[in-house]
Amino acid sequence: MTQNMTDQSEAPGTIAEMKEAVGSLFMLWSRVEADLVKALAELSGPPKADTPHGIGRTLAAWKALHEDIAGRGTDHLEVVCALHGHLAGALRVRNAIAHGLESYGIAGSDGSGEAYFQCRLKDAPEVITLRHLKACLSRLAGARMHISRLTYAALHPGERGLQSLYDDVTDLMRRHED
């Protein structure tokens, strides 16, 4: 039996798969944001009235708190900055889809190409493919574990084995790069 590649429901990288990946992205971001809020509370105490709202502000506050605790130039801070970069990239993808989706489709006139979203934020056009979206999900899923591990490291700066933790986090992030 031959596959009809013009039928988008059976084409590689279908719109249905994109929708599923977007749902996963938003669900995963809700968990990452909760992890960041939990880390902020562990590092600085219970949330205050001026606790940042919004994922971007929460992510920035998390990084700033690590900078205050760890000091600049430490291995800890290097890993925090790398993770922050991964999260900021994933947040950019999330925001492009949430706030700048213009169109979607399947690349290739015969429908045999990959599904994509055409987005625009701040007059910067961006095409997000299913492959790109899945890579973003992979990085984001790994980041959840790293948030709690780096929080632990910040709270226990003299503990043995932290360099191994930093090396492990760095290695895992490298595996999830595009």
What tokens does 114 get?
């990959």
To which residue do tokens 């749902």 refer? Answer: 23
Do the beta carbons of residue 132 and residue 93 sit within 8 Å?
A: yes
65 lies in a domain? yes
pLDDT in tens, 20-68: 999 999 999 999 999 999 999 999 877 676 666 789 999 999 999 999 8
pTM of the model: 0.83
Do the beta carbons of residue 107 and residue 125 sit within 8 Å?
A: no
Q: What span, in angstroms and rounded, lies between the C-alpha atoms of 114 and 13?
A: 5
**For residue 154, what are the domain limits?**
32-43+53-175
DSSP 19-39: HHHHHHHHHHHHHHHHHHHHH
117 lies in a domain? yes
Burial of 146 (C-beta count, 10 Å sphere; 0-12/13-18/19+): buried
21 lies in a domain? no
- Which phi and psi angles does 148 have, rounded to 5°? -70, -35
96 lies in a domain? yes
Most confident stretch, 27-41, 48-62, 103-117, 138-152: 27-41
